[in-house]
Amino acid sequence: MKQKRVLILGGDGYLGWPTAMQFSAEGWAVAVVDNFAKRQWENLCGVAPLLPIRTLRERIDAWKDHSGKKIESHFGDICQVEFLEEVFRSFRPDAVVHYGEQPSAPYSMRSREDAVYTQVNNVVGNLNLLFIIKKYNPRCHLVKLGTMGEYGTPNIDIEEGWLEIRHRGRKDRMLFPKKPGSFYHLSKVHDSANIEFACRIWGLAATDLNQGVVYGIHTKETRLDPSLATSFHYDHVFGTVLNRFVVQACLGVPLSVYGNGSQTRGYLNINDTLQCVRIAVLKPARPGEFRVFNQFTEQFSVQQIAEKVRLAALQMGLETKIQTMPNPRVEQLNHYYRARHTKLKELGLKPQLLTGAVIEEMLAVALENKHLANLQIIHPSITWK
């Protein structure tokens, strides 16, 4: 049987690296692409992951030592179409997992230059990929990481990508209306529209994964050795709220809740992200189908997340307070939020829910490495106004 081949864009990243190891462990031929821009953005913003992360080359070598399996790597920018063409021609993927974009809402709101860069980088790279798939293998399945932030917080239930509407006696099926909250989230909206167009006009097959807030440090493969670790960001630019609260609890400072803490979003464990991507690749969309999955397992308010961390910290003997602060973002408070997320479960997703034990494990890792934490990079310095 021919060995299946998966190309992972953004393979040096928080999700890209564990995804590469997962498919490699399961016998796929794996190639990763990265231009290491994320590491450059971190340096520019003066932030860093809590745990030191080896270079991609060092991690690939460590993975080969542990597994005996090779991961192929390509250094370059997918906005350079000639580079991406050469990778596609030489590797000939059956599926592409696209993580290779600027991933931070705060970064996109730093300045005009950063907003422009985010949109050009994300939209152009994705467009290049669509044209190359069309040219070299229209049957190659695209699995694209989107975000639940595309939807915003509408005052109606959020469907999975599509909405059946009636208007003046007629009905149609249309993409769900989008109300993104940053220039980063807007770039993802543009991506989704371009992918849907390519599927409808060219007959490409694509799955758009509208992902919620991801948390967690370890996957099955990263546990094998510290040299295989993936990044854990807790800072105000690239960190997510649960990660920030975990590190604040370990440092003995109040958990910083923006605004009144009523902002509600979908959340999922990093291991569930890997499950979802695997499901999407193994059970691909049909030619001409633009398939949208809302990729999260639970929804919480920021205040609820803070309370969960406080209680887990208390179990470990850490007295933790919760403190509200002015919200640096412009976002709706006390909003309605109910999003459908059934399709991945129907295809076999078995969620790993946010329990006290999960948070305690994250706290244990943060406690062990709290001497590496920098309190100065937690407080937000980027505002939406």
**Residues assigned a catalytic role:** 147, 184, 188
Q: How far apart are the first and last CA of the chain?
A: 56
In 136-219, at which residue ranges do the beta strands (DSSP E only) sit? 141-147, 162-167, 170-175, 205-211, 213-215
Instruction: Please tell me the distance from the alpha carbon of residue 53 to that of residue 48, in angstroms, as a whole number.
Output: 9
- Please tell me whether residue 73 adopts helix, strand or coil conformation: strand
Q: Which two tokens stand for residue 104?
A: 């931070």
Report yes or no: 194 and 130 within 8 Å, Cβ to Cβ.
yes
Q: What are phi and psi of 136, to 5 degrees?
A: -105, -30
Report yes or no: 36 and 12 within 8 Å, Cβ to Cβ.
yes
Q: Which two tokens stand for residue 106?
A: 């705060």
Task: State the DSSP code for 32.
Answer: E
37: closest CA among 142, 161, 120, 136?
120
Q: Which residue has the tokens 């989704």?
A: 192
Please state the separation of Cα 312 from the chain's center in Å. Answer: 25
- Please tell me whether residue 254 adopts helix, strand or coil conformation: coil
- Burial (Cβ within 10 Å: 0-12, 13-18, ≥19) of residue 198: buried
84: closest CA among 94, 74, 72?
74
Neighbouring CB atoms inside 10 A of 128's CB total 19
CA atoms 324, 326, 328, 331: torsion sign? positive
Task: State the DSSP code for 177.
Answer: P
Task: State the DSSP code for 77.
Answer: -
